[in-house]
């Protein structure tokens, strides 16, 4: 009986500790989209994509990221309080300078002055990172060069097989979300854990004259929001267990 009581007390203590957590959630991913076009080059490890950036005049994707994290926290740490934070131009600039895969700690150090004094026990920062292109197809993954943050990868030359119909389509568009989720101890500014998510969805339509036209503007937003949601749903539960 003493062992059972002790175990119950330990569980109660753990639950109380978890309930005392509070999170300040900051998203710095929705200021612009990367539009990357594959380039037909061989024999090089350099980034073979043509890059252009589309600046956004809305915070819709950051709000989508905040909602996704809040929903994931509600499931993973139901007793915690969550405060959603808005970024500004200066914070986005700091985040855009920290795209390397191993730059999470340096990003937190740069953001710390802006986040101190929030009154939360933890910060959960959603930012971008840069990684190799990985378009998922039946045979595995394809793609050239590197991607970062949110956007679309276009390939007008590669043939994609529709498994359901058996028909082949030349060219595809790849909505992508390359997101870093960083959990920070607010008292010390130390990174507790980090998760990097590379979510993609390969889209090809025979009726489209160009891969970019395979998705309507509404479809493009919806795809990105779904990728953000999937990223948060995967990353956040692992983070809060740390």
**Which DSSP helix (H) or strand (E) runs through 53?**
strand 49-55
pLDDT of residue 76: 95
Is residue 214 classed as helix, strand or coil in its secondary structure?
A: helix
pLDDT of residue 8: 34
pLDDT of residue 99: 94
pLDDT of residue 7: 36
Give the residues across from 181 on adjacent strands.
126, 195
Nearest to 22 by CA among 65, 63, 79: 79
**Which DSSP helix (H) or strand (E) runs through 197?**
strand 190-200
CB 36 within 8 A of CB 153: yes
- What's the whole-model pTM score? 0.86
Question: In terms of DSSP H, where are the helices of the chain?
Answer: 2-19, 60-76, 89-96, 104-115, 217-240
| Rounded Cα gap, residues 233 and 236, in angstroms | 6
Nearest to 31 by CA among 69, 59, 67: 59
pLDDT of residue 42: 55
DSSP 8-state class, residue 233: H
Centre a 10 Å sphere on the Cβ of residue 25 and count the other Cβ atoms it contains: 24
pLDDT of residue 209: 81
- Angle CA(9)–CA(11)–CA(16) in degrees, nearest 5? 95
Give the list of residues 6+ apart from residue 188 with CB closer than 8 angstroms, or none. Answer: none
pLDDT of residue 240: 93
pLDDT of residue 12: 37
Measure CA 116 to chain center: 24
Between helix 217-240 and helix 60-76 the angle, nearest 10°, is 30
Write out the chain's pLDDT in tens, 242 residues: 333 333 333 333 344 344 489 999 999 999 999 999 987 655 544 557 889 999 999 999 999 999 999 999 999 999 999 999 999 999 999 999 999 989 999 999 999 999 998 999 999 999 999 999 988 777 778 888 899 999 999 998 887 776 555 567 888 899 999 999 999 999 999 999 999 999 999 888 877 788 899 899 999 999 999 999 999 999 999 999 88
Q: Judging by beta carbons within 10 Å of its beta carbon (0-12, 13-18, 19+), is residue 230 exposed, middle or buried?
A: middle
| Rounded Cα gap, residues 61 and 96, in angstroms | 16
**Domain extent listing, the chain:** 21-240
| Rounded Cα gap, residues 86 and 61, in angstroms | 12
């Amino acid at each position: 009986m003493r062992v059972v009581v002790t175990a119950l007390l330990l569980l109660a203590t753990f639950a109380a500790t978890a309930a005392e957590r509070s999170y300040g959630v900051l998203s710095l991913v929705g200021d612009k989209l990367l539009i990357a076009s594959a380039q037909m080059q061989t024999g090089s490890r350099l980034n073979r994509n043509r890059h252009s950036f589309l600046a956004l005049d809305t915070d819709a994707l950051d709000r989508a990221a905040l909602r996704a994290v809040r929903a994931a926290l509600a499931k993973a740490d139901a007793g915690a309080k969550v405060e959603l934070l808005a970024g500004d131009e200066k914070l986005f600039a700091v985040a855009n300078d920290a795209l390397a895969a191993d730059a999470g700690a340096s990003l937190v150090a740069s953001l710390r002055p802006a986040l101190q004094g929030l009154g939360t026990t933890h910060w959960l920062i959603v930012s971008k990172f840069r990684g190799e292109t990985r378009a998922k197809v039946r045979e595995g993954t394809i793609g050239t060069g590197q991607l970062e943050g949110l956007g679309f990868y276009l390939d007008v030359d590669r043939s994609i097989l529709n498994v359901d119909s058996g028909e082949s389509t030349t060219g595809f568009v790849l909505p992508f979300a390359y997101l870093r989720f960083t959990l920070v101890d607010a008292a010390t500014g130390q990174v507790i854990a980090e998760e990097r998510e590379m979510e993609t969805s390969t889209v090809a339509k025979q009726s489209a004259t160009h891969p970019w036209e395979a998705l309507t503007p509404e479809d493009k937003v919806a795809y990105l929001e779904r990728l953000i949601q999937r990223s948060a749903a995967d990353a956040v539960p692992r983070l809060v267990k740390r």
